[in-house]
Chains A and B, each alone.
Chain A
Amino acid sequence: MLARVTTFAIDGVRSRPITVEVDLHAGLPAFTIVGLGDQAVRESRERVRTAIQNSGFAFPQNRVTVNLAPADLRKRGPGFDMAIAVGILAASGQVPIDLLDRIAVYGELALGGELRGVRGALAVAEGTRESGLDALIVPNECAREAMLIGGIAVHGASDMREMASVLAGEPTSSSLPPLAAARAKAREVPDLGDVRGQVQAVYALTTAAAGGHSLLLSGPPGTGKTMLARRLPAILPPLTTNEAIEVTRIHSIAGLHSGGQLMAVRPFRAPHHTISASGLVGGGSTPAPGEATLAHLGVLFLDELAEFARPALEALRQPLEDGRVAIVRGQRSALYPTLTMLVASTNPCPCGYAGQPRCRCGEADIARYQRRLSGPLLDRIDLQVPVERPTAAELVEPSPHDTDAIRAQVLQARERQCARLGDGACNGRMSTAELRRHVRLDSASDAVLHKSYAEGRLSPRGHARVLRVARTIADLRGDDRVAKSDVFAAIRFRQEIGETAEVAA
């Protein structure tokens, strides 16, 4: 007797359909699982056997062969337990077989027959819909998350008995409240109301958020660089439903999100500076997504940029530019999305107080420190912002920043960009062709830029970046034309940190 059950394997940041084939054959009792499974899959035998027995079903006294197809995909984790158990019950006639070509099953088994939640339920639900199936059975604790994907029926079950009754077509007892657009409240994000002073820096933050530009905050310790960066998600436009599903899927697979709600706030990832290149962009023997992918559609914050290992930063360059990264290991390769906004912070010199009398660093120290910031990476940062020490007066005055007003401004600017460039596009990712089409300078602005370039203050890449930022600044003003003052304001944020440009020359 042969039974086929559909389940899913997590492959990178998506799910892939797996057919679990269970064959019962006369012979000495034996239980074999083939199909390139890892240790957790092999141990699945013990869980499945015990769970079946403890749920009051009979484990067949036959030769049981389980195949996980396709056999060339490496399968990891305990998520196949339920499908294997269902296959055995169906093959031995203990549950009806007729619904199995329309229902997928995904989850881990406990020895008592209870179902346990596993990572990636959202990705599995998406896969179920894409494979054209009608329904998905998952452990109760994953049900809410799986229900976020419309178009399929999601059945939550608490143990094997319940699962069997779903497969028998009986109505299930566990009825969960409908989706109800259960989104986590955006209010949990820290907002700019806590920031005193820093008018210039907040303006730069607004510009970065409005155009999706990368940003470098540079200033003495304790001036609030990290504080400012952490408030960026509060003024970014909210995730669209499709974006929210994508982000939630990635985080659910990484085990960073649970609770059956879509993520409402853009992710903010702040890896420690000891992170390796593969930790940042993804890697490992079975390629796992890195921080850049976890920050997909959100913010990747590199605090103390100069402390990061150079190979790690260099590895980040291409993924940031392309919005995706291909990780190749042996015969396996994986493509991960990395559409993220890079935000970095740095001290201007080793002691952090460059420009103030208390600075202890010589010119050569500062030059050496800034060399570590990797010119090519700096060149890819659109906005370089000096963060000044707030005065005592500014610290006691109430915050001049209104988060809601800024977010509304950002949204308006984004809408202008979408109208111009297409849905979901932003100035920060304009191609050179788009740049030529949409950023036309009058002769005065062109002269400004030309002078800057001729004086060597701008690299060719920097030139294009100034144009993108100027476009965003004009969008923030609600203007379709880029004016001379937009170009000036954009150039303001492309200065070398401090005045050490000539040292590097």
Chain B
Amino acid sequence: MSACDDCLRRGFVLELLAGRIEIARHERSGLRDVLALSDEQLVKAVGGEATRELLGRVAGFHPDRHRARTSAASLSPVCRHDDLFPPRLIDDATVHALYVAGSERLGALTDPATPAVAIVGTRRASPDGMQTARELGRGLAAAGVTVVSGMALGIDAAAHEGALEGGGRTIAVLGCGADVAYPRSKAALHRRIAAQGVVLSEMPAGATVHRWGFPARNRIIAGLAHATVVVEAAQKSGSLITADFALELGRDVLAVPGSVRSWRADGTNSVIRDGGTLVRDARDVLDAVVGPQMAGHVVEAFVSPPDDLEPEVAAMLEAVEGGVRRTDELIAVSGDTYRALSALAELEMMGLVRGLQGGGYERTRL
């Protein structure tokens, strides 16, 4: 995997100008137009009084030093002139080089023969929305689909979590350097994705977060995926920007519907009204993206228990599997508070059931 000097210079320029692009964004609309400019045009467009100095620094760009810094952060650069560059991103001429963690898996996860689906949505997700995103991620990853998202709080993170549970086929696209765990509370998730999937960014190692970085990385998310699923989004949500990018590239946009009275469903319901495909679960997504023959690939199985469960533990497992969620009702099934509680704790520790917010339980799915 490699990147040519010209493309690497692009990364250097983006980081150099990040603050100026941020300011210029207030005046100019159309991020894609800005990013479509050549390096020199870009410097002239946003450089202002410092243009001369900036041009000097761009001219003094040192590719080998840049490469050294990249590999010091355990990232590998790849540019659009390399065979390993994600083929679907070639369509977007504004993406030049990517800096990748987990590069050994990049080829498999972006293989044009296997479908990739982006799952995006609001940071301020509801527990239901998070659960939906998680199940979508899990089901799609388990069916061999690559799940692409932005590792933000809420829907994004839940989708990645689900994909990790479903086998790890997931790509996180960041608006900062791929080695920077942002948001910080998702540092653990960042580590796990880098270890099992791929984390990538067009910003060089160590680059900090800028507001324009989010819509910019959204265009990469949309570009990497065959289709984009919006799970929960307000009317003016960043996830709808991803959906717009997907439409620009001629990719499908899908959405999970919600109540017309919920602000979290405003965005998704409008996507559906405007012609987006309505999806309820991973099966629907596979139907839409690869056709009905793929839907059979969704694994609807529970994590299987060991054979030697004690009878009362097995009885609790059966009750949870049968759909009893509340602890008090599970206790009623067992008839013995103490036995029921310790059996539930044991099942949870074995990973067979999952504790829910509010104190209930559900069966863990594969």
The answer to whether A binds B is: yes
Give me the interface of A with B, judged by CB distance under 8 Å.
197-200, 203, 219-220, 348, 354-357, 359, 361-365, 367, 386-388, 390-391, 394, 448, 451-452, 473, 476-477, 484-489, 491-492, 495, 498-500, 502-505
In B185-204, the 8 Å CB interface with A consists of: 185, 187-189
With both beta carbons as reference points, the residue of chain A lying nearest to B128 in the complex is identified as A357
Which residues from chain B contact A473 at a C-beta distance below 8 Å? 338
The reply to whether the CB of B364 lies closer than 8 angstroms to some CB of chain A is no
Specify which of B124, B343, B358 is in contact with A388 (CB 8 Å cutoff): B358
Nearest CB in chain A: distance from B294 CB, A: 31
Per the bound structure, the CA–CA distance linking A217 and B292 in Å amounts to 48
Nearest CB in chain B: distance from A219 CB, A: 7
In B116-153, the 8 Å CB interface with A consists of: 122-128, 130, 153
Total contacts A-B at CB 8 Å: 114
Q: Is the CB of B359 within 8 A of A477?
A: no
Give me the interface of B with A, judged by CB distance under 8 Å.
122-128, 130, 153-154, 157, 185, 187-189, 326-329, 331-332, 337-339, 341-346, 349, 355-360
Q: Is the CB of B357 within 8 A of A452?
A: no
Q: Is the CB of A505 within 8 A of B328?
A: no
Q: Is the CB of A391 within 8 A of B124?
A: no
Q: Is the CB of A505 within 8 A of B349?
A: no
Which residues from chain A contact B123 at a C-beta distance below 8 Å? 362-364
Specify which of A197, A219, A365, A448 is in contact with B349 (CB 8 Å cutoff): A448
Which residues from chain A contact B358 at a C-beta distance below 8 Å? 219-220, 348, 354-356, 386, 388, 498
Q: Is the CB of A489 within 8 A of B359?
A: no
Given A362-B154, A502-B189, does the pair A488, B125 have CB atoms closer than 8 Å?
no
With both beta carbons as reference points, the residue of chain B lying nearest to A452 in the complex is identified as B349
Which residues from chain A contact B189 at a C-beta distance below 8 Å? 502
Q: Is the CB of A488 within 8 A of B328?
A: no
Q: Is the CB of A200 within 8 A of B331?
A: yes
Per the bound structure, the CA–CA distance linking A489 and B359 in Å amounts to 14
Which residues from chain A contact B360 at a C-beta distance below 8 Å? 355, 388
Per the bound structure, the CA–CA distance linking A306 and B221 in Å amounts to 39
Q: Is the CB of A203 within 8 A of B327?
A: no
Which residues from chain B contact A199 at a C-beta distance below 8 Å? 328, 331-332, 337
With both beta carbons as reference points, the residue of chain B lying nearest to A497 in the complex is identified as B357
Which residues from chain A contact B344 at a C-beta distance below 8 Å? 492
Which residues from chain B contact A491 at a C-beta distance below 8 Å? 345, 349
Per the bound structure, the CA–CA distance linking A348 and B127 in Å amounts to 13
Which residues from chain B contact A388 at a C-beta distance below 8 Å? 326-328, 358-360
Nearest CB in chain A: distance from B63 CB, A: 37
11 A-B residue pairs with Cβ-Cβ distance under 8 Å, sorted by A, are: A199-B328, A354-B358, A356-B127, A357-B128, A361-B124, A364-B153, A387-B359, A388-B328, A489-B341, A492-B345, A499-B357
Besides A203-B337, A486-B342, 10 new A-B residue pairs in contact (Cβ under 8 A), listed by A number: A198-B328, A219-B358, A355-B127, A357-B128, A363-B124, A363-B130, A485-B339, A489-B342, A491-B345, A502-B188
Which residues from chain B contact A503 at a C-beta distance below 8 Å? 185
With both beta carbons as reference points, the residue of chain B lying nearest to A495 in the complex is identified as B355
Per the bound structure, the CA–CA distance linking A387 and B332 in Å amounts to 16
Q: Is the CB of B339 within 8 A of A354?
A: no
Per the bound structure, the CA–CA distance linking A365 and B327 in Å amounts to 26
Which residues from chain B contact A486 at a C-beta distance below 8 Å? 342
Per the bound structure, the CA–CA distance linking A355 and B339 in Å amounts to 25
Which residues from chain B contact A498 at a C-beta distance below 8 Å? 357-358
Q: Is the CB of B337 within 8 A of A391?
A: no
Interface-centre pick from A355, A491, A492, A505 (highest chain B CB count, 10 A): A492
Which residues from chain B contact A367 at a C-beta distance below 8 Å? 185
Interface-centre pick from B327, B345, B346, B355 (highest chain A CB count, 10 A): B345
Per the bound structure, the CA–CA distance linking A390 and B327 in Å amounts to 11
Q: Is the CB of A219 within 8 A of B153?
A: no
Q: Is the CB of B355 within 8 A of A365?
A: no
With both beta carbons as reference points, the residue of chain B lying nearest to A476 in the complex is identified as B338
Q: Is the CB of B355 within 8 A of A203?
A: no
Q: Is the CB of A362 within 8 A of B124?
A: yes
Q: Is the CB of B357 within 8 A of A391?
A: no
Q: Is the CB of B326 within 8 A of A391?
A: yes
Given A488-B346, A498-B357, does the pair A354, B127 have CB atoms closer than 8 Å?
yes
Per the bound structure, the CA–CA distance linking A413 and B68 in Å amounts to 66
Specify which of A354, A365, A387 is in contact with B357 (CB 8 Å cutoff): A354
Q: Is the CB of B188 within 8 A of A505?
A: yes
Per the bound structure, the CA–CA distance linking A504 and B327 in Å amounts to 25
Q: Which 7 A-B pairs have the closest CB atoms?
A: A386-B359, A362-B124, A355-B358, A355-B357, A488-B342, A485-B342, A498-B357
Which residues from chain B contact A203 at a C-beta distance below 8 Å? 337-338, 341
Which residues from chain B contact A219 at a C-beta distance below 8 Å? 358-359
Which residues from chain B contact A357 at a C-beta distance below 8 Å? 126-128
Q: Is the CB of B349 within 8 A of A499?
A: no
Q: Is the CB of A200 within 8 A of B337?
A: yes
Which residues from chain A contact B337 at a C-beta distance below 8 Å? 199-200, 203
